[in-house]
Structure 1
Amino acid sequence: MKLKMKFRIIFRLKFNYISFEPICLALFFVFVLIGSSHSLSLQNGQANSVKTEHGKTPEENRVRSSDQYENVDQPASSVCFSGNNAFDFASRMCAMGPRVPGTAGWKSCQDLIETSLTGIGYQVERIPFTISDNNGNSVNFVNIIAFPVMPSYSSTKNTTLILCAHYDTRPFAEKDTISPDTPISGANDGASGTAVLLELARVLRTIPLEIKPVFIFFDGEDYGRGIQNMLHGSRNYVSRLSEAEIQKIRTVILLDMIGDRDLAIPMEPNSMDSDPQTMNEIWKTASELGVSQFKHFPGPRISDDHIPFHWRGIKAIDLIDFDYPHWHTTRDTIDKISGESMAAVGKVLQTYICKKWKRQN
């Protein structure tokens, strides 16, 4: 606020014995001093406010900005997606070390997923499976599946919505010119999608839905070299589905690499081919919320965990920002992602799911 004060005093009344001119001049200087003091006080207050704002660490400013979407009007639910919570999940996952199958970080991440979900009323199942790698060695993997214990969804609607991501990390950073054999942290490629799912499970748990939400955390997505040696978790899950189970699946929404600080999610062509209706509805929801990270142009075709679903005729889409310079390098670390980006994705999905499937009583 800027205050501009103008004083103009023309006061020259004189009586025979008393002159008011000295008094008026004195009052004029008093008002000037008071006005200057008030203006200085306002300026100091503004300076202190700005100093406090910029005096915060970048991390504190990031945490505050990451929940900007929590104030977006959403009549469908009183529980809002928190970018802070999602970022915290991702941070904890990265602190465990690489999540390569068989490692301590891999096991700790499974425990984090399970305890986080059982603590808010989900039934969690670990589905172990084994494959042989290119060298003929047996490798153990674990998919994790979760759904509400006391269903908030309508049991009369015999349909399922699958929300999924992979939690494992690349055993080697082949895109890294310095350390190509070093396992990656996978902050964006692995942790970001898992973190958004965990927070989304929290907010959807309280909402009565007409569809059964099933959360799947795939293992082995990034394990081998070449697409034929990857996507192990989704391949295994889809291979176990009966025809009756397939008929119940309304669609599959996959989250991968959605934490980039400079997030821009294009419309992945394989997803558009599989389920254009869901893609268009999600992008429309983003536009209505003013979430600019969802871009209305096609991106590259991606071979990801949604592809095995396509092989069985199941609709499945992939929300992914593949334009990420740290992909499959040791630089894919927690400082490269933001709670704001994850909040953008989580808020859009929460709103979309509530608008489409919230039970009307």
Structure 2
Amino acid sequence: MRINSLAASLFLLIIIGGFSCKNKNTGNVSEGEEKPGLEVSVPDFNADSAYSYIVEQVAFGPRVPNTEAHRHCSDYLIAGLKRFGATVQVQEAMLTAYNGDRLNARNIIGSYNPDNPRRILLFAHWDTRPYADHDPNPDKWRVPIDGADDGASGVGVLLEICRQLSGQNPNIGIDVIFFDAEDYGTPRFITENSPEESWCLGSQYWSANPHVTNYRADYGILLDMVGSRNATFFKEATSMEYASQIVEKVWEAARNLGYGKFFFNEPGGGVLDDHTFVVRGRNIPCIDIINYDPESSHRFGTYWHTHDDNLDNIDQTTLKAVGQTVLEVIYKE
């Protein structure tokens, strides 16, 4: 087929114009086409940094309410949240322990983007057990524990998350709460049937008296015992009952990041923990990321409530798996 000179010129202009438009509009989307999803930059969780925060907590000694170590550690946590740019509130309360002792307690709260109505609650307990009532040596049952994993690990991970929040704002509001007096429950050398109400005193108090009137969050994530070597996180039963979609979101994020060896795609037993009272008291769907051992008699690590809960038990690989997973979830909201 032969094209005359005018037609050929017009044809050439159309082709050139077409290529010019395409080159000029690279990255733009024509009307009616679906816009591609924006790539979200998720900060890199620094496990060494999180570990250092655990070391610093343990250095104070057992953080049992009414002790000097407890007071000094609370000041350290408050200063840390302020250093990482949070709006800080300290909720002071006089709580009653199982034996009638009055406990000077502090719930420590740090908020990011406080005016954003969409919020996620991240929390851990910062106190330590006044008893080692599962220690194999009965002579040590009444000696407080270091609580490197049971208490300090969750707080250490959250402090590192706060450090990342200070450098890169997420699209939502974040509230971080360090709950007090979680681990002052009735010891087993008094009774094997410890009442629920003797545990998680700080979260019980906050749930009835939140730091913001009518406080709401889209969901909450509790970190408890998240630092031990070869930890295994099963899908905890209370979490699945009240926040199964959040469990699946977090566990999928972990698998996509390559942390499936920590986050087992299997159901675990129910755990009485701070999230229990946040769910009950504030009706906020919450999940518990907690080291769970289905083979042990008490379903936790062998170090649980013993003097083996020390820094030798903490592993940066586990801290990285948990911290990076939580960052992945909150920054992709």
Give the CA deviation at 1:299.
1.1
2:168 matched residue in structure 1 = 207
Are residues 175 and 122 of structure 1, via their aligned partners in 2, closer, same or farther at CA, if it must alter by over 3 Å?
same
Q: Helix, strand or coil: the match of 1:254?
A: strand
User: Where do 1:152-167 residues align within 5 Å?
Assistant: 155=115, 157-167=116-126
Alignment of 1:221 with 2:196, yes or no, is: no
Residues 58-86 of structure 1: CA distance to partner in whole angstroms, max 9, x if unpaired? xxxxxxxxxxxxxxxxx633631100001
Q: Name 1:170's counterpart in structure 2.
A: 129
CA distance in 1 between partners of 2:211 and 2:232 (Å): 36
**Please, which runs of 5 or more residues in structure 1 have no aligned partner?**
1-74, 357-361
The structural deviation recorded for 1:114 is 1.3
Answer yes or no: is the 8 Å Cα contact 2:109–2:176 preserved in 1.
yes
Alignment match, 1:180: 141
Q: Is this contact kept in 2: 1:204–1:350, CA < 8 A?
A: no
- Give the Cα separation in 2 of the matches to 1:224 and 1:125: 26
2:271 corresponds to 1:296: no
Pairwise CA distance, 1:108: 1.8
Give the Cα separation in 2 of the matches to 1:187 and 1:243.
Answer: 31
| Matches of 2:178 and 2:167, distance apart in 1 | 21
Residues 128 and 150 of structure 2 are in contact (CA less than 8 Å); yes or no, is this contact kept in structure 1?
yes
Residue 190 in 1 paired to residue 151 in 2? yes
1:1-361 superposed matches below 5 A: 76-77=40-41, 79-148=43-112, 151=113, 155=115, 157-178=116-137, 179-225=140-186, 226=194, 227-241=196-210, 245-246=214-215, 248-292=216-260, 293-312=262-281, 313-323=283-293, 324-356=301-333
- Contact (CA 8 Å) 1:257, 1:321: kept in 2 or not? yes
SS at match of 1:275: helix
Give the Å deviation of 1:329. Answer: 0.5
From the CA coordinates, give the structure whose radius of gyration is larger: 1
Q: Distance in 2 between matches of 1:223 and 1:272?
A: 26
TM-score by structure 2 length?
Answer: 0.79
Runs of at least 5 residues in structure 2 that lack an aligned partner in the other structure: 1-38, 187-193, 294-300
Q: CA deviation at 1:221?
A: 0.3
- AA at the equivalent of 1:124: V
Cα distance in structure 1, aligned partners of 2:128 and 2:278: 21
2:167 counterpart SS class? coil
Q: Do the aligned residues in 1 keep the contact of 2:107 with 2:179 (CA within 8 Å)?
A: yes
- CA RMSD of the aligned region, Å? 1.7
78 and 213 in structure 1: CA distance in 2 versus 1, 3 angstrom threshold: closer
Secondary structure of 2:161's counterpart equals: helix
* TM-score normalized by the length of structure 1: 0.73
More helix by percentage: 1
Q: Assess, with a 3 A threshold, how the Cα gap between structure 1 residues 136 and 263 changes in structure 2: closer, same or farther.
A: closer
Cα pair distance change 1:342/1:198, threshold 3 Å: same
2: CA distance, partners of 1:231 / 1:194: 16
| C-alpha distance in structure 1 between counterparts of 2:147 and 2:212, whole Å | 34
